[in-house]
Amino acid sequence: MVPSAPGRLYNVVNGQRAYALVSGDRIESIGYHADKPDDDRTWLPVEYEDSEPFDITKHWRFPPIDRLEASWVVRVFQLVP
């Protein structure tokens, strides 16, 4: 099986994009929305990724680790053999 990046499949699910509610330097919540929420709070898009090329025959995923970047949130799935 060829390694792939299935983490990216979680960026958009059923036509809805992942967005994170951010307050200061804290990620309050992550959820899926048809459109970016339009309120006075800070909502940033979420990019999912794997810590290395994923191979379903070799890897397990640990719960993701979230990291706040300049204009988005990165949610990384830690992979272990």
Strand ranges for 1-81 from DSSP E: 12-13, 16-23, 26-33, 42-50, 60-61, 65-68, 73-77, 79-80
Could you tell me which residues are beta bridge partners of residue 73?
A: 46, 68
pLDDT computed for residue 13 by the predictor: 87
Compute φ and ψ for 26, nearest 5 degrees: -115, 140
In this predicted structure, what is the pLDDT of residue 21?
Answer: 97
Q: CA 51, 61, 54, 66: dihedral to nearest 10 degrees?
A: -30
Size of the chain in residues: 81
Give the model's pLDDT for residue 5: 59
Please write the tens of the pLDDT for every residue from 1-48.
Answer: 334 456 677 788 899 999 999 999 999 999 999 999 999 999 999 998
Q: What is the pLDDT of residue 70?
A: 85
Q: Enter the pTM of the model.
A: 0.77
* pLDDT the model gives residue 64: 87
